[in-house]
Amino acid sequence: MMMRHKANMAMVLVQIFYAGMALLSKVAISQGTNPFVFVFYRQAFATIALSPFAFFLESAKSSPLSFVLLLKIFMISLFGLTLSLNLYYVAIDNTTATFAAATTNAIPSITFVLALLFRLETVTMKKSYGVAKVFGSMVGILGALVFAFVKGPSLINGHTRKSIPDGNVPSTKDSVKGSITMLAANTCWCLWIVLQGKVLKEYPSKLRLVTLQCMFSCMQTAVWAVALNRSPSVWKVEFGLPLLSMAYCGIVVTGFTYWLQVWAIEKKGPVFTALYTPLALIITCIVSSLLFKETLYLGSVGGALLLVFGLYSGLWAKTKEEDIQKHEEKQSQQEVNEVVIGLDCVPTHQ
């Protein structure tokens, strides 16, 4: 049972780590850390942490790196990591951690569309699992919208002053800016998820692939940060929660979690990986309500229920589709074996 569901357990663990990322990042950015400098140090931590494992564990099975392949990895790092992370931290500066987690629930649907465009995913509306796959994506988006914009009566912390008020309750203008920026960040991230499958076929060394992308992203973000802010003071990081957040996001999230995602993409495909995104929202909402005293509304609970329903609808569709494909492949193999046996039984004439 453990081996059969290890991909599911890995993705649940990934979303727990992502929930921690949203919460710690929000606190660090709210305390004045420059978003672009935060990304640089995060990627630097990830590169340093992953490099020894990538060098020693995959030295035997590493594939040669051509210039074209290296260029592909560089471009995927630029769009999937550098742009995605920098836009994410700009967005989270204008929203709450819970709101940021809510907007990421467009990821399964965006990934589904991109996977269709790249012909990595198929859908047929003539089958029940095809309808469930599309329906699950639509319900997931609806749940995210309800969670983010429908309030209703407060259930938790309705009259409690928040622990971190500065920058944690965005204005209408900031909310719109944060939502648009987060959508752009999510689109870049979905592109990273989809393109991993293609690159893995050319370069199957997963640890080395993630390490290279983190290194390229660190270099790209350094150029971005210097171009947008020339003040040397922004690079100074004091010991405390900001440094802890950078180390956590770099070592745990960018390092370990990205490797888990690449592994899951290789095993189950990009859409399966994206379907678990709603779990991070639910975890973030609960922890934010308990620790940061964020108000929990009835609309948020309704949105969370829709997200869970959409998640399980999509997972059922994906599982059903895989079972049918395995059955068809097994049946086809049996027919081939029967033909081979029949040919062996036919007497030959000299």
Q: Which residues sit opposite 154 in a β-bridge? A: 297
Task: Please report, in tens digits, the pLDDT of each residue of the chain (350 residues total).
Answer: 555 678 888 888 888 888 888 888 888 888 888 889 999 999 999 999 889 888 887 766 667 788 999 999 999 999 888 999 899 888 887 777 777 777 676 777 777 778 777 777 777 777 777 788 788 878 877 877 777 677 778 766 555 444 444 444 434 346 667 777 888 888 888 888 888 878 888 888 888 888 999 999 999 999 988 988 888 888 887 778 888 999 998 888 877 887 788 788 777 777 677 777 777 777 877 777 777 666 667 877 787 788 778 777 877 787 777 778 777 777 777 766 665 565 555 555 54
Helices and strands of the chain, counted as H and E runs: 14, 2
Sequence ranges of the domains in the chain? 6-126+162-297
Tokens at 348, concatenated: 């030959």
Contact between 23 and 284 under an 8 Å Cβ cutoff? The reply is: yes
Contact between 28 and 242 under an 8 Å Cβ cutoff? The reply is: yes
Residue 62 pLDDT: 66
Residue 248 pLDDT: 92
DSSP single-letter state for residue 2: T
C-alpha 175/C-alpha 121 separation (Å) is 33
Contact between 283 and 105 under an 8 Å Cβ cutoff? The reply is: no
Residue 237 pLDDT: 79
Residue 271 pLDDT: 67
Q: Which residues sit opposite 156 in a β-bridge? A: 296
Contact between 112 and 121 under an 8 Å Cβ cutoff? The reply is: yes
Tokens at 108, concatenated: 């399964």
Predicted model pTM: 0.71
What distance lies between CA 258 and its chain's CA centroid?
Answer: 8
C-alpha 173/C-alpha 163 separation (Å) is 23
DSSP single-letter state for residue 233: G
Residue in the block written with tokens 């357990």: 9
Tokens at 172, concatenated: 């209408």
Rounded to 5°, the CA angle 289-293-296 comes to 45
Residue 61 pLDDT: 65
